[in-house]
Amino acid sequence: MADMSNEIWPEYHPTAIAVLKGLIVVIEIGCLWGQYVLVVASGDFIQVYPEFAPARWPYAIAGIFGVLCFEAALVPLWRLLTLVKRRDVFSGKAVTWTNAIIVCALAEAAIVVFVLLYGSIAQFPYHDPSSGQYVDLAMGSAALGMACLGALLLIAAFILLLIVMRSLLVTAIAQRSELAEVI
């Protein structure tokens, strides 16, 4: 009897999986470095523009959590690659990991909404030492608002794509189970 595993999984590529896992490690290291740089850069920004000091930590924390959501999504992605390597995608475990990626994307969207709202609502009085005047400063800008709206559109498209892919996976699992019963 011929080996059926090659007929069922002809597109299985262990080298591609290994390369993808290596890229996940590199991306994770880059994300950790980026979180550190974000805090340092926000401090440098405040030294140049002290009037924005009240916004430093809300934006820095939102940035750190935004990167953290992305990092958290790398864990289920790693697990999905492991399931592909083990040829265990149709056991139902893949649906759980796909759901985890969707949750990470939803958390990312919540952080972007926070930044959008904070930037459009928050205002702080600033005393300009050179002129002696008090100025009400908004903590956001039109560019920040547009960037947040663009990010929300991209995140929404990503989540919708994952929902469609998840439904395809669930259908494939059900059909595979039916086929196994017939055989």
Identify whether 9 is part of a domain: no
Identify whether 112 is part of a domain: yes
HSE of 167, CA atoms in CB hemisphere, 13 A: 5
Identify whether 160 is part of a domain: yes
Per-residue pLDDT of 85-123, as tens digits, reads 888 888 889 999 999 999 999 999 999 999 999 888 887
What residue has token string 């935004």?
Answer: 66
Per-residue pLDDT of 132-183, as tens digits, reads 777 666 667 788 889 999 999 999 999 999 999 999 999 988 887 777 777 7
Q: How far is CA 83 from CA 26, 122, 125, in A?
A: 21, 46, 54
| Domains contained in the chain, number | 1
| Rounded distance between C-alpha atoms, residue 103 and residue 100, angstroms | 5
Question: Is the pLDDT at 8 greater than 80, yes or no?
Answer: no
CB count within 10 Å of CB 140 equals: 19
Arithmetic mean of pLDDT, 3-16: 64
Q: Hey, what are 57's tokens?
A: 């930590």
Identify whether 127 is part of a domain: no
Distance of CA 122 to the CA centre of its chain: 25
- pLDDT in the model for residue 1: 39
Nearest to 19 by CA among 7, 11, 27: 27
Q: Which residues contact 75 (CB under 8 A, 6 or more apart)?
A: 100
Print the domain residue range for 143: 14-121+132-175
> What DSSP character marks residue 49?
-
Read off the pTM.
0.82
Q: How far is CA 135 from CA 19, 111, 120, in A?
A: 53, 28, 17
Q: At residue 156, what is the residue type? A: A
Arithmetic mean of pLDDT, 70-75: 97
- pLDDT in the model for residue 10: 58
